[in-house]
């Protein structure tokens, strides 16, 4: 049996990057997956990949900052599959003009908070009642290593939003610990996704960050999906309120190897 056999999982931002890889991996481990993304076409494409591989998936178009759409996303899981066991809040944004505290436009700040923090809150808010009806579940929220340390290459809205995800997840974990719901965060380092490639298209900007990673490379989506799978599965049955750091050693380093 797979590690998620018999479970129903909702994954946001599942149309590409980490979310797509996680959706494929969760399905391969036996989960029935609701593939949720702002781009409905991309969500449908990933769901079709899962179905073609012998898995079970349903595509849903969702803006995670919209309460009604998030409610419909969770409703799609319960109406289609009868339960909800796992929520992987993976969707997030990092706009180009998210910079220092004096440079970031208020509109950018608001949009980042809407997606990265409010979106996680709305997902949890919709999922918890469904998980309670299902007898419990696991919530996995994507934070970031930048929630644990500061950087001179500022990204103030993104950093603040991810710090909020850590605090929200801890509170949720403690509140529902006796009711069978676990909640944990993942704190990824820079991961090789199309978003990162776009942000670090300038070789100098890319190297500015790469030099701080002890392992000497950026992470891969598969490595974050594996962490999410562990936290989602019963193998992590005694893990809640934690922040799993998957960053190639960045937060452990003072000076990196030459």
The rounded radius of gyration (Å) of the Cα atoms in the chain is 18
| Distance separating alpha carbons of residues 67 and 44, to the nearest angstrom | 22
Token match 């998620």: residue?
4
Query: Edge-to-edge strands of the sheet including 243-246?
Result: 56-61, 32-37, 8-12, 86-89, 137-142, 181-188, 243-246
Instruction: List phi, psi (to 5°) of 56.
Output: -130, 125
Query: What pLDDT, on the 0 to 100 scale, is given for residue 57?
Result: 98
What is the pLDDT of the chain when averaged over all its residues?
96
If pLDDT is split at 50, 70 and 90, which confidence band does 39 have? very high
pTM to 2 decimal places: 0.96
Provide the pLDDT for residue 196: 72
Give dist(CA 197, CA 201) in Å, integer: 6
Specify burial of residue 240 (Cβ count, 10 A radius: 0-12, 13-18, 19+): buried
SS3 category, 39: coil
Task: Supply the residues annotated as catalytic.
Answer: 158
What tokens were used for 155?
């990204």
Pair 190, 208: CB distance under 8 Å = no
Q: 3-class DSSP state for residue 217? A: coil
Residue 198 has pLDDT above 80, yes or no: no
Mean pLDDT value across residues 23-47: 98
Q: What is the pLDDT of residues 96-105, one digit of tens each?
A: 999 999 999 9
Structure tokens at 214: 């002890």
In this structure, the chain runs to a length of 258
Least confident among 115-119, 158-162, 192-196: 192-196
Adjacent-strand bridge partners of 37: 61
- Cβ contact 131:123 at 8 Å: no
Q: What is the pLDDT of residues 79-101, one digit of tens each?
A: 999 999 999 999 999 999 999 99
Tell me which of 97-106, 118-127, 150-159 is least confident: 150-159
- Sorted by where each starts, the structural domains of the chain and their CATH numbers stand as 8-252 (3.40.50.720)
Q: Which residue has the tokens 């009604």?
A: 68
pLDDT at 61 over 80: yes
- CA neighbor of 242 nearest in space, from 176, 182, 199, 194: 182
135-164: average pLDDT? 96
């Amino acid at each position: 049996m797979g590690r998620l056999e018999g479970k129903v999982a909702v994954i946001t931002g599942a149309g590409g990057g980490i979310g797509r890889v996680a959706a494929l991996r969760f399905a391969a481990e036996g989960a029935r997956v609701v593939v949720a993304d702002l781009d409905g076409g991309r969500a449908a494409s990933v769901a079709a990949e899962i179905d073609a591989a012998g898995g079970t998936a349903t595509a849903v178009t969702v803006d995670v900052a919209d309460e009604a759409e998030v409610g419909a996303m969770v409703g799609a899981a319960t109406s289609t599959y009868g339960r909800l066991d796992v929520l992987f809040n993976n969707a997030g944004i990092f706009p180009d003009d998210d910079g220092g505290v004096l440079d970031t436009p208020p509109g950018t700040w608001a949009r980042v908070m809407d997606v990265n923090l409010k979106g996680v809150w709305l997902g949890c808010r919709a999922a918890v009642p469904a998980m309670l009806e299902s007898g419990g579940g696991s919530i996995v929220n994507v934070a970031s290593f930048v929630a644990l340390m500061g950087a001179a290459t500022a990204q103030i809205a993104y950093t603040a939003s991810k710090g909020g995800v850590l605090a929200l997840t801890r509170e949720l974990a403690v509140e529902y610990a006796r009711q069978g719901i676990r909640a944990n965060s993942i704190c990824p380092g820079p991961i090789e996704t199309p978003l990162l490639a776009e942000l670090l298209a300038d070789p100098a900007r890319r190297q500015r960050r790469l030099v701080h990673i002890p392992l000497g490379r950026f992470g891969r989506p598969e490595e974050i999906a594996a962490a999410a799978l562990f936290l989602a599965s019963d193998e992590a049955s005694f893990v809640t309120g934690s922040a799993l750091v998957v960053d190639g050693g960045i937060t452990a380093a003072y000076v990196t190897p030459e």
